Amino acid sequence: MEDAATAEIARVQIWQWLRHRVIDRESVLRLLDDELAALGAAFPWAAPDEVRGLFERTALADALPPFFTSDAYARHLAPGRAAGRGAHPG
């Protein structure tokens, strides 16, 4: 849970920095390219295009989605299931 919480804080902070013009989109995309290259070098089985898509949808969108975890879960942990459906009862 702590990793997801840290990722949530970081992506919201990036979204806010962009909205308040603390950093420009081009700089964020350049850093994203660098980080994805490092990810691919360290973990050849990683899917950088999927990581990029998740980041762009949840940190670079005009409107801030409430959570990145809903998108990530629906696409990667339970593909084919709508987010929020099939949750464990109780």
Length of the chain: 90
Whether residue 4 is predicted with pLDDT greater than 60 in this model: the reply is: yes
From the centroid of its chain, how far is CA 34?
Answer: 15
Count the domains in the chain.
1
43: helix, strand or coil: coil
Asked if the structure places residue 84 within a domain, the reply is no
Mean pLDDT of the chain: 84
Task: Report the amino acid identity of residue 84.
Answer: G
Distance CA 73, CA 33 (A): 23
Question: What is the pTM (predicted TM-score) of this model?
Answer: 0.73
Distance CA 23, CA 11 (A): 13
Asked if the structure places residue 89 within a domain, the reply is no
Asked if the structure places residue 62 within a domain, the reply is yes
Asked if the structure places residue 85 within a domain, the reply is no
Asked if the structure places residue 82 within a domain, the reply is no
Amino acid 23: pLDDT: 97
CA pseudo-torsion sign 82, 86, 88, 89: positive
Give me the domain span that covers residue 32: 2-77
